[in-house]
Amino acid sequence: MERKEFIKSVLGLAAMTTLGDLKSFADNLQEQDETMPVLFIGHGSPMNAIEDNEFTKGWKAIAKTIPKPKAILCISAHWETNGTFVTNMEKPKTIHDFGGFPQALFDVQYTALGSKWLADETKKIITSTTVGLNEDWGLDHGTWSVVRPMFPDASIPVIQLSLDYTKDTQYHYDLAKQLVGLRKKGVLIIGSGNMVHNFQYARFTGDFNAHFGHDWALEANESFKKLILENDVKSLVNYKT
């Protein structure tokens, strides 16, 4: 596929309020010529959700260079469950799952709709395990802190897929491969977390920029990126070694 063709924007989705709207949404999610990309975004501090900085500018630039998604499936490192689940509510709540930050961050409400159709489609496309439909969770900061800067008008439906804390990396890699069909239906898949995430060793003073961090953290980050570019799946799956 030519780059010019890849970056062509497609029409987004307005708010859905009727069964007719839902049917139209499902029709629009039929397979298309372009395959949506998959993104991993290291979300960093939740403050990125309301700040204009090097990180958020990068996320905004990405949003402008990919086709506009018809829906978003986000796998957040902050939703761990016993089993695999997808959110299945029409209006997911904005979860403020953090503490010690300014009130302005707690005041944020990201009002994107959910998508019961996409939840059902995700449940159907994953055959390696039973996927539960969750009505309680919503959108945690691993999702809205990155999706909000990218799509601030909240016009794109968003659902979350959980991580099963009882399963290993191979389980999640095999599960993720089954999601590829959604990319042909205009669904943007985002993984959100951090390559290294350990508050016990976090530095809260210094020159905060994209290259700030402990030497071992920067080394781990570069190692992961190298393995990804080399498509060394075996080493990535066995990252603990």
Q: What is the pLDDT of residues 17-37, one digit of tens each?
A: 333 444 444 444 445 557 899
List domains and CATH numbers for the chain.
28-194 (3.40.830.10), 208-241 (no CATH)
Residues paired with 193 in a beta bridge: 42
Q: How far is CA 59 from the centre of its chain?
A: 12
Q: What is the pTM of this model?
A: 0.81
What is the chain's mean pLDDT, rounded? Answer: 84
Per-residue pLDDT, 33: 59
Tens digit of each residue's pLDDT (9 = 90 or more) over 79-98:
999 999 999 999 999 999 88
**Residues 118, 163 contacting (CB under 8 angstroms):** no
Tens digits of per-residue pLDDT, 117-130? 999 999 999 999 99
Q: In 10 A of CB 183, how many CB atoms?
A: 19
Q: Are 134 and 86 in contact (CB under 8 A)?
A: yes
Contact 117, 25 (CB under 8 A): yes
Q: Which residues pair with 132 in a beta bridge?
A: 85
